[in-house]
Amino acid sequence: MLDIQSLQLLSKLLNVSYLCREAGLNPRTIQSKLRRGTELTVKESRAMYRVLQSDLGAAGLTVTDKNGAAGEASPTWEDLLA
């Protein structure tokens, strides 16, 4: 799932409005949550995560959560943006 802190980091690299539209979400609502730091709902988080998985997967990249997959040591978004 995608939390607001990760989305704030990703917003430096991604078009959040595009991500919202592809996820079927209102871009204004998500932009407002980004500015205020309000956490995403489970529905919002899952919808955007699925779009990221699909679009990045098409580019040959994978998306993992902060804990990695199946106990593997995978980089977090913070690691990738550092």
Query: When comparing pLDDT for 73 and 23, which is higher?
Result: 23
- At 49, the amino acid letter reads Y
pTM, whole model, 2 decimals? 0.74
Cα separation, 81 vs 73, whole angstroms: 17
**Domain contains 17:** yes
pLDDT of residue 38: 95
Residue 24: C-alpha distances to residues 12, 49, 52, 76 (Å): 21, 12, 13, 25
pLDDT of residue 39: 95
Is the pLDDT at 58 greater than 70, yes or no?
yes
- At 42, the amino acid letter reads V
- At 38, the amino acid letter reads T
Q: How many CB atoms lie within 10 A of CB 77?
A: 20
**Domain contains 75:** no
Domain that holds residue 11: 4-61
**Domain contains 11:** yes
